[in-house]
Structure 1
Amino acid sequence: MSDHQPAPESCSLFEPGRNCWRVNTAKKFELVVDGAAYFRALREALIAAEWQVLLIGWDFDLEIEMLPGESDADGDAPDGLPNKVADFIKLLVNRSPELNIYILRWSGSAVIAPGRLVPAVRLSMSGPDRIKLALDGRHPVGACHHQKIVIVDDRLAFCGGIDVTDARWDTPDHTPEDPRRVLRDGSPADPWHDATTAVTGPVARDLADLARMRWKRATGEALNAPDLPDHDIWPASLDISCRNIPVAISRTVPPDEDHPLVNEIEEMILVEIASAKSSIYIESQYFASDAVTEALSRRLREPTGPDIVVINPVNAENIIEDSAMNVTRTRMVKALQRVDHDNRFCILTPVNAASQSIYVHAKVCVIDDRVLRVGSSNIDRRSMGFDTECDLSIEARDDDVSQIIADLRNRLLAEHLGCSQKTLADRIAKTGSILAAIHELNASEGRRLQPLDLNTDTGVGAVLADTRLLDPRFKRGTPKRRVMTSRHIAVGVAIVAIVGTVYRYLIG
């Protein structure tokens, strides 16, 4: 089969060593949509922990409440345990003498949000010694460790796009002025749409291996796998969409002295796009990947290609990022519009009932009713070949799973349209087109999907888009190489500081 050609219907899209690291079985699988459901499920899972918890993420804020608005006068949640993350995990460790909790956070997040590092450092230094914090600086300068993985005793894993940090909590309603949707300082937080997955079984153990490998790479410490009876734990608040389904784990890992670039995620999405027959549905924080744009462009040139729906936020989180990423988005969108002769492409952004923009942080791709991919990777160059990422994919190998994938896609899209899943499914069945269903069901006011206004391709944004300064990547096929990492810079700064101190002492 040649590169990025659609696979025959009977063939799996998953190719370990090319577009995924491993494929293994999830005894249970669920798509977890939005932060309210995730934080509740995460809390339930952590309460069940016996031996080892690995929290691997871009950022952590241990001062947030996991269940906003549900604390009593003592700061406890309805389960009787502290609602704040730091107090909660401290209590879990104190009451479970064999439980160890490892928190691995991207080193750069300490620069972006230093205030959120203080509670973690305080907990690590003054809390139980079985809570260990590490900053991951093992990545090229300018890159970030972007994986968002939680492992509980190798029995349950969460993997997706939701960070355990401030501003991530919201419900699928994205209710205007929801009093629970506030920042840690009590100020209102913007509506926020996100997604992750929950899995048990052999694939959870594979994710645990990945998390322990990442911990060792960052710290040099090898962690043993828990020696516990093999049984599932499952949060009571979560449904189960699939049982005993193969799941592919795909990664992006920048090159280092002991391995070349790993761009399994890019390979996976390109194969997915090539395989689409009727629809490509994408949710992403950004839309700035040359490779993905070219792949979508090829499909739009076909006379009977698939509908393509991209859901994006209006703006990035800060003005520099917005200028850099969204001028690039403007160029990508215009390139697709030029070849879209049948009006099969649209890029839209969701708003809530008060027409307030909902920030899209989810990283999801659904191809027809055949493939669902959820993870930490965005549609940008960094996620395809610079940052460290992890995605999970499932594919339909029978009609039952095909219906499940369609239902999960409709769940996401119905949330944005403010309609029921059944209404959406019926309209898709009637029209035979996701795009036609969106056009018919989309309201003119209130909860809806709006066309995305494109940034002006001038000024600083144009320069940043030309240089891709904030969205770099290593070329496909980059071999093993020694790269300057954030750790090297930190060591260099420390050496300079020590030498400077000694010098001042000697001449003082």
Structure 2
Amino acid sequence: MAKKGKSDEQPSEQEPEPKQVSRLSEGVDETVWRFAKAERASLIIDAQCYFAVMQQAMMKARHRILLIGWDFDTRIHLTEGRRWFEKGRKKEQPSRLGSFIPWLVRHRKTLEIRLLKWSFGIFKFPMRGSMWFDLLRWTPHKRIDFTFDSAHPTGCSHHQKIAVLDDRLAVCGGIDMTDGRWDTREHKEDDERRKSPRGGTYTPWHDATMMVEGEVADMLEDIGRDRWIRAGGKALKPHEKRTDSLWPDELDVQFENVEIGIARTRAEYRDWDAVTEIEQLFLAHIRRAKRFIYAESQYFASRKIAEAMIARLEEEDPPEIVIVHPENADGWLEQQVMDHARAELVRCVREADHKNRFSIWCPYVGETPIYVHAKIMIVDDEVLRVGSANFNNRSMRLDSECDLFIDAARKGNEHAGTVIRGLRWSLLAEHCGVEEDEMPNLLARHGSMAAMIEHVETDSPRRLQRYHPPELNTVQKELARSQALDPEDPDDLLEPFAKGGIFRKGGRLSRMRKKLSRKNGE
């Protein structure tokens, strides 16, 4: 790597403590649906932990479990033991989701379980033979209800991943209870436990969600209840409020007594107005950053996000921006839409990056890429954000999404900054294959996240590899630039170059593209 001049130096990581200043970027409050108190909250990283603690929490529910997801697969196992019960011993709860649900309602006489899944998922059912059997087995249980969500414009999807237990404990993030999600934080290159219900294995998968307890769970119940009713589900009866804790015994509490913000995306449909809180909050958080932005996202295809980053990178002293991202999108069509758009956007963002503060990295274990499905954003170790929304247009404007965030700059949240910083260190350590307690010294020694990632030495097979945009052919370029399959408005789906596409006239991306064209003699 070429030695940088003084003007190219990265911002220092040596600040000992996150800033604890009571300030908010202009406009942030207008981009949030609600703020609510959480008595406890924790970021859950990867599905081995999530599936296990979710089963523990569901065992404590007594009134209602509301599961809202993009997908559910009843064939998955929540825990690794996979035991039903042993003769002569008290019955143990089954680990298989399709068996655990009816077992739970049989053993909890006052409990109802409602599951809502995006309607397009019904087309996967023919390949999930035993799932039909599970749904038939559930039919006699009047306290189990499974509904498909089609309450959105054509071409949009229901993408929220929310679970609410007794209006007291909730989860919101990126993990679905479905096939292909289970993995450990080690992300071993070959792990026989990472097995599909069909019998085959799948590659490493990185994901995240947030568990919260308290008033904020009641707010997420409002979102889930509204979605359930609009999707055609039966009315949900009120139940007795619980004041005791449902927190899983094996999950450490990271945050206590914090205020949590909730932001949503929803397309205009029927009598619903469009909601773009998530997009506006992303832009506000990018504007707010002073020192750095650390983000994990499944996609990087949003014109508005890219232009907001360009605006910051053109400043005299821009923040460092580090994005952890999968090598390729999951599936051929997604690759044609998202991967090509990413290549075009990254080229333009780098053209604006005059201080070398922007980088995208793809996690690997050995020679195998780790798929990044997590949606996380950390700003200056003050803001921790996790949810279902990616850096793509669908998440900003088309699909139903829900994000949570903790802001240490809000009054009463001052104690959260140190925890947020520790979570950033933990995520970087996971991806770089180093011990978590080494991360503070490594960052201080190298001066920035990018320099640390570039030069860290480890015997671990896990590493972050810098993303370099590939050269695209003419067809790929036109597909990426048109936004026809990832539009900014549901009405523009399949409409090539609606409103000018990615490089619309007068935008920062258009200006960067012209600079690149002149530089390349095009």
**TM-score bin, normalised by smaller chain:** 0.7 to 0.9
Q: CA deviation at 1:442?
A: 5.5
- Tell me if structure 2 keeps the 8 A contact 1:19–1:264: yes
Question: Which of 68, 85, 95 in structure 1 is aligned with 2:107?
Answer: 95
Tell me, in whole angstroms, the C-alpha distance in 2 between the residues paired with 1:114 and 1:140: 25
- AA partner of residue 121 (structure 1): L
Percent identical among aligned pairs is 39
What residue in structure 2 maps to residue 253 of structure 1? 266
Q: Secondary structure at the match of 1:449?
A: strand
Give the SS at the match of 2:62: coil
Give the TM-score normalised by the residue count of structure 2.
Answer: 0.85
Alignment of 1:74-85 (within 5 A): 80-85=92-97
Shift of 1:455: 4.0
Q: CA deviation at 1:379?
A: 0.4
Q: Deviations over 1:397-447 (max 9, x none)?
A: 365311111111111111000112221122223444222222232659821
1:203: which partner in 2? 216
In structure 2, C-alpha distance between the alignment counterparts of 1:112 and 1:461, rounded to whole Å: 28
Matches of 2:202 and 2:91 in 1, distance apart? 25
2:443 paired residue among 400, 405, 428: 428
In 1, distance between residues paired with 2:42 and 2:381?
16
String of CA shifts for 1:297-349, please: whole Å, max 9, x gaps: 11111121111101110111111210111100001100111111111111110
2:318 aligned with 1:305, yes or no? Answer: yes
Instruction: Determine if the alignment matches structure 1 residue 440 to structure 2 residue 435.
Output: no
Partner in structure 1 of residue 38 of structure 2: 26
- Matching residue of 2:425: 410
Match of 1:140 among 127, 142, 153: 153
Q: For 2:415, what is the secondary structure of its paired residue? A: helix
Name the SS for the 1:134 alignment partner.
strand
Moved more, 219-228 or 100-109: 219-228
- With over 3 angstroms needed to count, the CA separation of the structure-2 counterparts of 1:115 and 1:160, relative to structure 1, is same
Q: Please list the CA deviations of residues 29-88 of structure 1 after superposition, one character each: whole Å capped at 9, or x if unmatched.
A: 1000000000001100111110100000000000111113x2247599998211110111
1:118 equivalent in structure 2: 132
In structure 1, what residue type is equivalent to 2:143? R
- Letter of the structure 2 residue corresponding to residue 136 of structure 1: D
Residue by residue, what CA displacement relative to the aligned partner does 1:86-107 show, whole Å, maximum 9, x if unpaired? 1111100011111100000000
- Asked if 1:335 corresponds to 2:345, the answer is no
CA distance in 2, matches of 1:470, 1:437: 37
Q: How does 1:220-259 map to 2 (within 5 A)?
A: 221-259=234-272
Paired amino acid for 1:390:
C
**Residue 153 (1) aligns with residue 166 (2):** yes
Are the aligned partners of 2:84 and 2:95 in contact in 1 as well (CA < 8 Å)? no
- 2:30 aligned counterpart, secondary structure: coil
The 3 A distance-change label for structure 1 pair 317 and 120 is farther
Contact kept? 1:428, 1:434, Cα under 8 Å: yes
Q: Which residue of 2 aligns with 1:47?
A: 59
State whether residues 251 and 264 of structure 1, in contact with CA within 8 Å, keep that contact through their aligned partners in structure 2.
yes
Q: How many residues align?
A: 466
- Note the residue ranges of structure 1 that are not aligned, 5 or more in a row: 1-7, 477-508
Determine the C-alpha separation between the residues in 2 that align with 1:368 and 1:277.
Answer: 7
Structure 1 residue matching 2:36: 3-state secondary structure: strand
Question: Equivalent residue for 1:479?
Answer: none
- Structure 2 residues not aligned, in runs of 5+: 1-19, 492-522
State whether residues 250 and 392 of structure 1, in contact with CA within 8 Å, keep that contact through their aligned partners in structure 2. Answer: yes
- Which deviations, in whole Å up to 9, do the C-alpha atoms of 1:249-268 show, x marking residues without a partner? 10001012323210100111
Q: 2:356 matched to 1:350?
A: no
Say yes or no: does 1:364 pair with 2:376: yes
Q: Name the CA distance, whole Å, in 2 between partners of 1:404 and 1:43.
A: 26
2:288 is the counterpart of 1:275: yes
Partner of 2:193: 180
Distance 1:475 1:115 in 2: 29
Which residue matches 2:335? 322
Q: Is the 8 A contact 1:145 1:388 kept in 2?
A: yes
State the partner residue of 1:214.
227
Change (3 A) 1:43 1:220: closer
After superposition, the Cα gap between the structure-2 partners of 1:113 and 1:449, relative to the gap in structure 1 and judged at 3 Å, is farther
Residue 35 of structure 2 aligns to a residue whose secondary structure is: strand
2:390 corresponds, among 361, 373, 378, to 378
Moved more, 291-300 or 312-321: 312-321
Please, which of 292, 299, 302 is the counterpart of residue 289 of structure 1?
302
Partner of 1:451: 466
**Structure 1 pair 445–93 and aligned structure 2 pair: CA distance change class (3 A):** closer
1:165 to 162, 174, 178: 178
1:23 partner SS: strand
SS of corresponding position for 2:231:
helix
Cα distance in 2 between the residues matched to 1:463 and 1:188: 36
Partner of 1:462: 477
Q: Choose 384-393 or 458-467, whichever is displaced more.
A: 458-467
SS at match of 1:379: coil
Distance 1:379 1:442 in 2: 30
1:390 to 402, 412, 424: 402
CA displacement 1:233-288 (0-9 Å, x = unmatched): 10112111110100001000101232321010011111111111111111000000
